[in-house]
Amino acid sequence: MNKNNENLIFGRNPVKEALRAKKVISISITSSFADKEILELIKLQKLQPKIVSVGELDNVTRGVHQGVMATIKPYEYLDLNEVIRRSKQVEIPVVVLLDGIEDPHNMGAILRSADVFNVSGLIISKHNQVPLNATVAKTSAGAINYVPVALVNNLNQAIEKLKENGFWVVATDGAAEINYQDLKYDFPVALVVGSEGQGVSKLVLKNSDYVVKIPQAGHVNSLNASVAAGILLSRIRS
């Protein structure tokens, strides 16, 4: 078993959602694995599970595998135009642009929030951005299978395309004058989430229609990117 396979996922929830999405190529389970729903999905899809020891799974996954691991089809990205097309099926659509998110755990958590708050799609750049991979899949708890992700060459060009299609771009910055709670999100929203260390880049801020801040009263003047995304999406959808 290949430790470096980016198409390996593990843990009950990620594997279960991958099975539901029919993305599993092969699956390994321990002899004592007893999750009835997963076993039924394996049977329905006529997969032949490989029985392995707990030690084998420990060695390959280096994480909490809960007795199950799967090899899945490579993650597919959509074209930006397709995300825009799908967004037009929603009364007030929301898309999220990630500006340099490099931590797969943050991206996975953002995907979870995107699924919860009915985001039409994520838009990420090919550069300085974590791609869809197994770590993102596990952290997303299956949301990776339901939130479309578009891969673009240039985030600012994507912003222009979104504006042409009626979106208003909302970015965040600690120095902004507008409180995120004071903006009325009654328009198609393209929310920009900045990187863990640098935040939203200067050019993206310049190209944004609104720049808002999340007021902070603690001693550490920094919010995790995925936490900030969840707060903002909750307000947008309230």
pLDDT at 78: 93
Question: In this structure, are residues 120 and 88 in contact, taking their beta carbons and an 8 Å threshold?
Answer: no
> DSSP assignment of 190-233, as one string?
EEEEEBTTTBS-HHHHHT-SEEEE----SSS----HHHHHHHHH
Token pair 């990620």 is found at: 14
What confidence tens digit (pLDDT) does each residue in 54-106 have? 999 998 887 789 999 999 988 889 999 999 999 999 999 999 999 999 999 99
Query: What structural domains does the chain harbor?
Result: 8-72 (3.30.1330.30), 80-236 (3.40.1280.10)
Calpha distance 12→39 (Å, rounded): 11
What confidence tens digit (pLDDT) does each residue in 16-59 have? 989 998 989 999 999 999 999 999 999 999 999 999 999 999 98
What is the arrangement of strands in the sheet containing 68-72, beginning at the earlier edge strand?
8-10, 68-72, 24-30, 50-52
Say yes or no to pLDDT of 126 above 70: yes
Say yes or no to pLDDT of 2 above 70: no
Token pair 């951005």 is found at: 129
Task: Count CB-CB contacts under 10 A for residue 19.
Answer: 24
Q: Higher-confidence residue: 188 or 224?
A: 188
Question: In this structure, are residues 69 and 14 in contact, taking their beta carbons and an 8 Å threshold?
Answer: no
